[in-house]
Each structure stands twice: as structure tokens, then as C-alpha cells.
Amino acid sequence: MRESIERDIAQLAASEEDCDGWLLARVKCLICSHEHVSVHAVDANRRTLECPACHHRSSEILEYFPPDEKPRMSSMDLVRAARQYIGTPFRHQGRLKGAGVDCCGLMICAALDCGRDLLRELRNAGFTDDQISRYSRDLVFEQLHSMFAAVCDPDPDEPIGSLLLIKIPNGRSPHVAIKSELGMIHAFDRIARVTEHRIDDLWRRVIHSAWRLKEID
């Protein structure tokens, strides 16, 4: 994570000559109260910042992290962040806590709340916005598998905080869950919300593989 952040800082600084520098900052949206960690200009308080959850340009910077104190996401950080979405309604392509997320949205939002921008990482890996943000319900298993391979390493031990790639039979779209110490957390359309439950025999049979985000403790 540290290397990707430093690379982003260098790229942003090169593209904006009027900035004094770039640091990792904790940002809060004044509309939906969503908080996340991302790279911003040191003078960004005079800018209009876009919220990655609701996309309103009304966010404010709460604090900057000094360069030697950049936060690093742990597996339990991801699980704790995902738990904050339990009860959020299922909504295809949703990206907003309390309003709606889908299974990919839960993974993206929970990671973003911990300072990990998976969408940016996928773009850097060559995926287009159509592939990663405006996907349809016909998302094929192979496409999602290739996205996992770009930002994760396979981990057959299924540690807590790993991402579970689920292949549901009968032609349904692939599914994603986050492994927790209690089982798994996911946004499931059949019950229309984010939930956490144990992994029973039925779920065990459809889990295809487990993946661990790169550069995570």
C-alpha cells in the first residue's frame, strides 16, 4: 500500500503545479457523512472534494497523515469496516453505507474506508471504468476472477479478511464475500441486505477461491 500511495502522490504532484504537496488525508462528506482515506493536495481545503460514495462535491478534510505515519490496512480493519455496512440494503452497483451496496460495492467501500482505493488500483492495472464500475448483472466469472488476480494474491487458507470468490450455480452472476471470524460478510440480493453469518455446507460448496489483498497486514 505504501508504494502505491507514494506513486499516486508523485503522479498527482506532477500534474498540478500549483500545489504545495500531496499527503494522505482523512476526508468526510458533509452530505452523507461517509469517511475515507485518500491522497489530497496539502492546500485541498480551498478545493471542492468529491465524495466517492455519493459523489457530491461537498467533502472536507478532517486531518492529514504525516508521511511517516501513513496508515496501513490490516485484515481485521477490513472486517470491522465491512461490519459497519450490515443492514445496508442490497442495491446493484450501490456504493453508499445505509442506502445501498452490492457484493462488489461492499468490498470496494470497506477497503476505501480503510484507505485502500481498489478502483484506482484496477484502473492502474488496465481495467476500464465500464469493466469495474458500470458492470452489468451479466458480469462473467472469468472477468471478476481477473480483477481479483490484479489486486490480490490467492490464499487457500482463507484467513480472516480474505475475499471469497463464490461461483453460484444455475447461471447466476458470481458473488463476493469478506471472510470474518464468524463466517462471512456480504451483500446478498436474496435477502436484500448486507449480512454476516457462518459458512454452512451449502456456502462451502459454492466458494470457488479465497484471495488476500496485496500489501495487507
What is the structure's pLDDT at 65? 61
Instruction: Single out the residue in 26, 45, 69 at which a domain terminates.
Output: 69
Q: Which of the listed residues 18, 53, 69 is the one where a domain comes to its end?
A: 69
Give pLDDT, residue 201: 94
Check residue 75 and give its pLDDT. 87
Q: Are 37 and 86 contained in the same domain?
A: no
Q: Give residue 142's domain range.
A: 75-213
- 29 in the same domain as 102: no
Burial class (CB in 10 A: 0-12, 13-18, 19+), 134: exposed
Q: Which three cell numbers stand for residue 200?
A: 454452512
Instruction: Catalogue the long-range contacts made by 170-178 (C-beta closer than 8 Å, 24 or more residues apart).
Output: 173/137, 173/138, 173/139, 174/139, 174/140, 174/141, 174/144, 174/145, 174/208, 175/103, 175/206, 176/103, 176/104, 176/106, 176/107, 176/144, 177/103, 178/78, 178/79, 178/82, 178/106, 178/107, 178/110
Q: Tell me the pLDDT tens digit for each residue of 82-114.
A: 999 999 999 988 888 888 999 989 998 898 888
- Amino acid 124: pLDDT: 86
d(CA 208, CA 134): 24
Are 57 and 162 in the same domain? no
CA angle 171–176–179, rounded 5-degree value? 140
Which parts of the chain have pLDDT scores under 50?
A: 1-22, 44-47, 69-70
pLDDT reported for residue 128: 80
The helix or strand, by DSSP H or E, that contains position 62, with its residue range, turns out to be strand 59-65
Question: What is the C-alpha to C-alpha distance for residues 165 and 148, in angstroms, rounded to an integer?
Answer: 9
Residue whose entry in the numeric block shows the C-alpha cell 478502483? 119
Query: Positive or negative, the Cα torsion across 170, 163, 185, 205?
Result: positive
Q: For the chain, what is the domain count? A: 2
The domain that holds 123 is classified in CATH as 3.90.1720.10
User: What pLDDT, on a 0 to 100 scale, did the predictor assign at position 126?
Assistant: 87
Domain-terminating residue out of 69, 98, 114: 69
CA 189 to chain centre: 19
Query: β-strands 163-166, 152-154: how paired?
Result: unpaired
Q: Does one domain contain both 131 and 158? A: yes
